[in-house]
């Protein structure tokens, strides 16, 4: 296994833990966006550019946007 894959896997594992450990929703949104980015990098190291592209767009852009909008709506 190449070193890049090893590092990417470890970073993703840490990122998953960080996403769960961030209890406050707004903070968690930023962390989940970063997690989506690290997943995208992992998918690249696994020779899957299509999946990386769609994960970056959804998990790092569209999804955190909707989470933030939903959080903003519920805080009044």
Partner 1 sequence: MSFLPYLVAVWICLVGLWGIVTSRHLMHSIVCLSVVQSSTYVLLLAVGYRRDSAAPVFVDIPFGTPAVDPVVQALTLTDVVVGGAVTALLLAIAVQIEKHLETLDPDELDPLRD
Partner 2 sequence: MEDPPRRPGELSFRGRVRLFLGGAAVLGALLLWGLAGLPDYRSFTPLYGQLVNKDAISERSTTAVVTAVNFDYRGFDTLGEEFILFAAVLVLALLLRRLADERRGPLADSPRRVHTTSALVRLTALGLVGPTVLLAVYITAHGHLTPGGGFQGGVIAATALLLVFLGSDYEHVQRLRPKPLVETAKAGGALAFVLIGLAGLIVSGAFLENFLPLGHPGDLVSAGTIPLLSLAVGIEVSGGFVLLLSDFLTQLLVLHRKPDR
**Best CA proximity match to 33, nearest among 49, 18, 50:** 18
Fill in the DSSP letter of residue 46. Answer: T
Contact of 46 with 19, CB cutoff 8 Å: no
> Minimum CB separation from partner 2 for residue 48, in Å?
8
Q: Does residue 50 belong to the site contacting partner 2 (CB under 8 A)?
A: yes
> Minimum CB separation from partner 1 for residue 24, in Å?
8
Distances (CA, A) of 32 to 1, 21, 27: 27, 11, 9
Q: Does residue 58 belong to the site contacting partner 1 (CB under 8 A)?
A: yes
- Binding residues for partner 1, per CB under 8 A? 1, 5-6, 9-10, 12-13, 16-17, 19-20, 23, 25, 28-29, 32, 35, 39, 42-43, 46-51, 54-55, 58-59, 62-63, 66-67, 70-71, 73-74
């Amino acid at each position: 296994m190449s070193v890049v894959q090893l590092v990417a896997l470890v970073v993703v594992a840490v990122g998953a833990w960080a996403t769960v450990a961030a209890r406050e929703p707004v903070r968690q949104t930023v962390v989940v966006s970063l997690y989506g980015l690290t997943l995208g990098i992992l998918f690249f190291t696994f020779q899957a550019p299509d999946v990386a592209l769609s994960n970056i767009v959804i998990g790092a852009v569209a999804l955190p946007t909707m989470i933030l909008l939903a959080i903003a709506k519920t805080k009044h």
